[in-house]
Amino acid sequence: MSSEETQLNLSQPSGGLNEFDPEIAAVLVDEYNRQTDKLEMIASENIVSPRVMEVVGSVLTNKYAEGYPKRRYYGGCKFVDVAEDLARERAKELFSAKWANVQPHSGSQANMGAYLALLDPFSGEDGKKVPIMGLHLNHGGHLTHGSPVNFSGRLFDVHAYTLDEKTGRIDMAEVARMAREIKPRLIVTGASAYPRFWDFDKFREIADEVGAYLLADIAHIAGQVAVKLHPDPIPVCHVVTTTTHKTLRGPRGGMILSSYEAGEIMLQGMPKPKTVPEAIDSYVFPGIQGGPLMHVIAGKAVAFKEALQPSFKTYIERVLENARVLADELMKRGFNLVSSGTDNHLMLVDLSNKGLTGKASEKALERSGITANKNMVPGDKQSPFVTSGVRLGTPALTTRGMGIDEMKQIAEWMDRALSDVEDKELHKSIRAEVKEMASGFPHFQEM
């Protein structure tokens, strides 16, 4: 079979899937059409390169490789060891870190591995849960930063800091006051819906004052951090976790980074203390995971190499420019944005002043060919299933090659679509306009 015959056709299922499983074949075609015909504006989503998809769908999916390179519990790992070593070395180069673990299956498992390595959850005073701090979910935080329905909220004594509802920004003086009162053992920074820069240096000052570890979850801003277009947490924080998709534009997965080589952590069942990176390695495997996903790890290695190219910084610059333009255009049309703008790839639109809910707005936008997600906003009086806001992001649109002219047009479409969230005929007409514009942009465009 020629190399041409083995290439993945992105628009049609390959390998006889149409004949064997037409239902799943239809899912692939329908999803491809959805991604190309509509505008993907969910801030946590992006579009990977054909190179990454080729690796993730490769023979590497067949290999079990419990352990780490040169220290596996299975034979036959010679070649997957090469892939994991490449992923680790490229991650360290990309983020200027001294250590990397690329095995977490997701950002949530990266956080779990880091938390449990750093802290015994029930080693607090009198056997109580250990106190930690993280940004409140309703103010832009993540489930794993202390939500009561998540492992983080169940295992730890969580104290959530919030945004100043007037400015939409983190009040660092209030964070410091809380930390002095609570004396957390871990302070978590990072968010899933915070549009502003993080002051990692100030957080480290607070952490050092109260004797806490500082962890940065940069899942959303990893691409910006990698190209130095966001303050860098690596030299400042004890541990940094991230996903490898979102702005980093790799396969779905997680990663943990650190340049902190000190520490003395005694893990249960271990004969001697470990440094922070050693302890985290032990907690990722065998602590919380079994065999790593070698096809995904190899895909991470490819994505990291892509992100090391000069063109990736150009891509991130365009992501940020598109976000600023979209934010400005929405505000011109009377939309309220939390913090009145954005420093990164996303924005959080508070629809309270327009008498709209996030749920109704998400559906109206979806009918109009614009995919976004409802989201809580600071001081939200709606339930998490309804919300008063929507979150928007520009990474996927920028990957397709869209720029400031398209952002201006999208703002106009959103304004029309949300002028009447029940007018399905209006939304149908916008949907046709969206499809026509989207047809002029490929699924993935090299910068």
Catalytic residue selected from 51, 64, 202, 423: 64
Catalytic residue selected from 241, 243, 371, 398: 243
Does 66 qualify as catalytic in the annotation? yes
266: how many CB neighbours lie within 10 A of its CB? 12
Distance, CA of 139 to CA of 125 (rounded, Å): 29
Cβ contact 246:44 at 8 Å: yes
Catalytic residue selected from 88, 196, 252, 300: 252
Tell me which long-range contacts 83-90 makes (C-beta under 8 A, separation of at least 24).
83/294, 83/297, 83/298, 83/301, 84/292, 84/294, 84/297, 84/301, 86/298, 86/301, 87/297, 87/298, 87/300, 87/301, 87/304, 90/301, 90/304, 90/305, 90/308
DSSP for residue 388: S
340: Cα separation from own chain's centroid: 22
Cis peptide before 286 (omega within 30 of 0): yes
Does 51 qualify as catalytic in the annotation? no
Catalytic residue selected from 246, 300, 391, 416: 246
Does 391 qualify as catalytic in the annotation? no
Does 324 qualify as catalytic in the annotation? no
Does 387 qualify as catalytic in the annotation? no
Distance, CA of 215 to CA of 115 (rounded, Å): 9
Phi, psi (rounded to 5 degrees) for 238: -65, -40
Does 436 qualify as catalytic in the annotation? no
Phi, psi (rounded to 5 degrees) for 161: -90, 160
343: how many CB neighbours lie within 10 A of its CB? 19
CA 4 to each of CA 11, 17, 22, 29, 49: distance values in angstroms, whole numbers, following the listed order: 15, 18, 24, 21, 17
356: how many CB neighbours lie within 10 A of its CB? 18
Catalytic residue selected from 217, 306, 343, 406: 217
Catalytic residue selected from 66, 164, 205, 412: 66
Q: What are the catalytic residues?
A: 64, 66, 217, 243, 246, 252
